[in-house]
Amino acid sequence: MMRSLCVAAALAALSVPSSAQAPATSARGLAIRNARVLPISGPPIERATVLVRNGKIERVSSDIAVPPGYEVVDAAGGTLMPGAVLAYGHTGLGAGGAREERPNQFTRGGGRGRRGRGAPSPQGGAENESGELALDRLYARQEVFQELLRDGVTTIGVAPTGTGLPGQGGVVRPAGDDVAAMTVVRSAFLAIAPVNDTRTKTLIQRALDDGKRNLDRRRRRGPEQRSEGGRAEGTPPAEQKPAEKPAENPGEKPPEKPAENAPEARGGDAAQGPRGGQQQQEPDPAAEAIMQLLEGKTRAFVQIDSAAQMLHWDEVSKNHSFPTVFVARRHASQGSQGFFDVVLDHIKRRKAIVLLTPELSTIPNTEYQVNMPARLHAAGIEIGFLLADRGRALSAARTQLMELVRAGLPADVALRGITLTPARALGIDGTIGSIEPGKTANLLLWSGDPLDPLAKLQRVWLEGNEVEADPR
Amino acid sequence: MNPMQRTPAKIVRLGALVTLLACMAAETQAQRGRARGRGQPQAPATPPPAPEPKEPASVERWTAIVGGEVHVGDGRVLRGGTVLIGDDKVHAVGHDLEIPAGATVLRADGKVVTPGYVAVRAQGIGLPASVTGELKDAANPFDPAIKRALAAGITSYLYWSGSGQATPGGTTALVKLAWGDLAGMVRQGQCAYSMRTPLSATEWRRLRELVGQAKEHKAKTEAAAAAPSPAPAATPGRGGGPPGERGRGAPGQRPSPSAPPAGTAELLRIMRGEARLWVNPSATPTDGGRGRGGGSDDRDGIRQALQIAELLGVGIVLDDPVTAWCLADQIAATGSLVVLNPRNTTPPDPTDPEQTGANIAAARILDEAGVPVAVTCPSGRFGGAQVGTGGIMGSDLNTPQVDAAFAVRGGMDPRRALRSLTLDAARAAGVERIVGSLEPGKDADVLILDGDPLSYRTFVETALVNGKVVYEKDKEPYYQHLNR
């Protein structure tokens, strides 16, 4: 039954054109001329030429000749900017991937869990799902990807749904016939969705504390096993050099496995398999994901909408430090829980990027509005914007951004907030988010300034291939 | 009232009580009640002393409120007095106190300094109406209602969720309005339980049984504690949920000798003075075929509540009674307290002598009989006695001092009326060890007012909770435009 439904859906989706798949121009080379280029990473370049080859940006300059064989696009009067990045949403999870209802299922089912353990939740509720990948639940052939692409969204972060520790998010490009073809990064971040109740707070706190304990144990064993003893035991994970990590892992893992059986027999190790000490442990992916986070090898996207939630999050995470991005999807309506400007120091202390919806916030019980993005920016906090995860996300956000800019947000921050900053949050700013040589050629050509209400989106390139743009 | 009854027997026990004036005042009332009552033991009216103030050396942050007219809350008024606060506690109150170097000094010349008001029943301030799990994990220290309550002088309140029926129950906590301080909000859990009267014959029998079991257990544990062998003391949970389920269930588990019998945990805590019992005496249906509804004659309910007090050996709190003023002496005799709103008046029924109604003098009559009265605000609908956040901009919050002033209008002594918002309210909430007066060792919840505490013209200028300034009139939008 399920299978036949899937097949039917798949057949229906085949009719959706996947124009970005055809490698039409990428081999030939593309030259976009005479455009005003907003590289985002630097100041605007007037009447510039952008050379694209093999899906990458080759050169950006105002004084280069177009090499022979390149397809030339004359963009005089237009403005070229990088494709928009939708950093956090549940795009494409709707068809069977969404798990919003899961807490209820668990409430009914009591403490039954896949691994039969996780964090023993006080009310038999949520458990640590950090081992789950959102992309495993993604269904590729959905029109929403086409819609987003036509609207100018060229990179999409997909986050798992649910509360507590719902899993890992990934990054996809809005084109491709299956998830593998769409995938840019399979696991880009660990999603954390705190809720202000004892159950969820306990779940997250235990997962983090267990993860730290396991790491300490692993690290203590590490130096003797590797017989180098280079690193002090108490070295915080965030301070490890990236270069060190790949080297140490293969050498470290095999010997530690038998050794870890001892704590497992005592039943105190969250990284252990649930099937007890008799069997060689197979590392619990959820616990492993938490340890990766604590080592600084991945980042957490933490959903925080209000100052009160920030204080609760502080309580939960006070003993740990790891790369953090705060995601505020409902901040504008959370005045009764305190706006972010009362917890600026908490955000700064974590050096976190804040991704928030491009909205003005209304002070409770009044008609007064405050520009929270502008306040955060003025306080020196790096901000990016959340686009809606469906339909004309960029068109909608553009109107809102205009309002924010009108209310005092610098225009360059607004545009960086939908391109380079979300790419930085996702850790893909090396290839995506700006118009620089070597970066992926995701480009949007507007008839005027993107923040001009009269400007229209004229052309969209995804990895150097032009796709149909939705001019609205 | 017979003026003879007012004669205070104040001095009798003073020598025995070493330290605090709160104790003295409470004792006074117990004595008053005993003078005319049936000589019942007066266990609850003597609050345990407040904790000792911190060692000066361990204090990190000093705050001094200097030059104001200080209403300590126990009856003393010090003109030009100083309130010295060490961290989050009152360190000392008096004249010419030495102010440590580095202290933050708040001048209060020409101002009135009082303890923060304790709202004995409130909802919707910094906490949702019902919470699964622990209260502190659902707290919202940035709730605008906190500022509004502070603007009205409320610095802490008794949170209620659910209630007991024929036996004590409900979830309560003393919640401090510690703006922005998550850890400082939920101060003490389960300081009160509630139940209702009148009880049916079956319910009454069941309650007697439970109290009997509880007393037996109490005697046993006290004997064990007195014995030289170190018996584990039974300490029911303080912070979290109701400890009532502790002894229940788990048949495989052998109950430890200190586990209380099922259903008696709340009663035991009430009998030990760890929690206060609130009884809501509802009116007995008296229509008798006359087609009228419940009426307002709750005397049966009150009498049964007093029976419960005698059974437990501790005074109880009568929650919003109508006819309590008719039974003032009997209430005083049990050492019980009354929570009411002086504005909740109901007219007597001339055709029915049983329907005495309630009048504005009720608070004064009870007070003169030696019954501590805690005043609340009326809630959104008439007849309630709790602080709500309803009304326009939470206007229900705005009136504690006006409500106490109504008690003065009914004849109550103004100082006693201020007490009905502070120390006696704290006693009703079962937290008089922690809040309600400016005695050393208590939480530093202090108001600086710009005039007489009970005047309708008076505003809160500055409010401190846990020793921190959390409200300043000229920095908050509510009243900053009103200058006098």
- Are A308 and B141 a contacting pair at CB < 8 A? yes
Q: Minimal CA–CA distance to B470: which of A205, A427, A230, A342?
A: A342
**Long-range contacts, A109-115 (Cβ 8 Å, 24+):** A115/A273, A115/A274, A115/A284, A115/A286
Nearest to A336 among B133, B137, B144 (CB): B144
The pLDDT of residue B102 is: 92
Question: Could you tell me whether strands B112-115 and B117-122 are parallel, antiparallel, or unpaired per DSSP bridges?
Answer: unpaired
Dmax (CA) for chain A in angstroms is 71
> What is the Cα–Cα distance from B325 to B316, expressed in whole angstroms?
16
Mean per-residue pLDDT for B191-212?
93
Per DSSP, the three-state class of B24 is helix
Residues A80/A30, Cβ–Cβ less than 8 Å: no
Domain boundaries, chain B: 3-52+114-245+258-475
Domain A17-82+434-472 is of which CATH architecture?
Answer: Roll (2.30)
Residue A337 has its nearest CB partner, among B132, B140, B393, at B140
CB contact under 8 A, A122 and B143: no
Q: Are B464 and B470 in contact, with CB atoms under 8 Å apart?
A: yes
Q: Give the pLDDT mean for B405-418.
A: 91
Give the range among A20-34, A151-165, B21-35, B427-441 with minimum mean pLDDT: B21-35
Q: Which of A120-129, A290-299, A363-372 has the lowest mean pLDDT?
A: A120-129
How high is the pLDDT of residue A321?
92
Pick from B404, B398, B396: which is nearest to B360 by CA?
Answer: B404
Confidence of residue B225 (pLDDT cuts 50, 70, 90): confident
Q: Are B103 and B83 in contact (CB under 8 A)?
A: no
**A470, two tokens:** 């939705």
Q: Which of B132, B142, B393 sits opposite A337 (nearest CB)?
A: B142
Angle, alpha carbons B454-B455-B459 (nearest 5°): 95
| Distance in angstroms between the alpha carbons of the first and the last residue of chain A | 40
Kindly state the average pLDDT of the residues B258-271. 89
- Topology classification of domain A84-243+285-432: TIM Barrel (3.20.20)
What pLDDT does residue A333 have?
A: 86
Indicate the pLDDT class of residue A444, thresholds 50, 70 and 90. very high
Tokens of A281: 């442990």
Instruction: Name which residue leads in pLDDT, A276 or B168.
Output: B168
For the whole model, what pTM was predicted?
0.78
Beta-carbon contacts of A243 under 8 Å, excluding residues fewer than 6 positions away, are none
Q: State whether residue B401 is helix, strand or coil.
A: helix
- B76 burial (CB, 10 Å; 0-12 / 13-18 / 19+) is middle
ipTM for this prediction? 0.77
B399 or B4, greater pLDDT: B399
Residues of B in Cβ contact (< 8 Å) with A196: 137-140
> Residues A277, A263: contact at Cβ < 8 Å?
no
Distance from CA of A293 to the nearest CA of B (A): 24
Beta partners for residue B280, in sequence order: B196
Does A199 have pLDDT greater than 60?
Answer: yes
Structure tokens at A24: 């039409």
Q: H-helix or E-strand containing A324?
A: strand A324-328
Could you give the count of Cα atoms lying within 13 Å of B440 in the half-sphere of its Cβ?
14
What's the CA gap between B257 and B183, in Å, rounded?
Answer: 34
Q: Which residues pair with A81 in a beta bridge?
A: A444
Q: Is the pLDDT of residue A232 over 60?
A: no
Contacts within 8 Å (CB) and 24+ apart, B93-100: B93/B438, B93/B439, B93/B440, B97/B64, B99/B62, B99/B64, B99/B66, B100/B56, B100/B59, B100/B62
Q: Tell me whether residue A69 is exposed, middle or buried, using C-beta atoms within 10 angstroms of its C-beta: 0 to 12, 13 to 18, 19 or more.
A: exposed
CB atoms within 10 A of CB A297: 17
Q: For residue B369, what pLDDT is reported?
A: 94
Q: What does the pLDDT read at residue A238?
A: 40
Q: What is the pLDDT of residue B20?
A: 43
The verdict on a CB contact (< 8 Å) between A336 and B182 is no
Q: Tokens 């290839």 belong to which residue?
A: A431
Check CB contact under 8 Å for A198 and B137.
yes
Superfamily of domain B3-52+114-245+258-475: Metal-dependent hydrolases (3.20.20.140)
Domain residue limits, chain A: 17-82+434-472, 84-243+285-432
Which residue in the set B137, B180, B183 is minimally distant from A197, CB to CB? Answer: B137
Q: What is the pLDDT of residue B388?
A: 53
Residue corresponding to tokens 């069997």: A279
Q: Tell me, what's the pLDDT at B217?
A: 92
Neighbours of A450 (CB within 10 A): 23
Q: Is there a contact between B302 and B218 (Cβ–Cβ < 8 Å)? A: no
A367 confidence band (pLDDT: 50, 70, 90): confident
Predicted local distance difference test score (pLDDT) of residue A449: 95
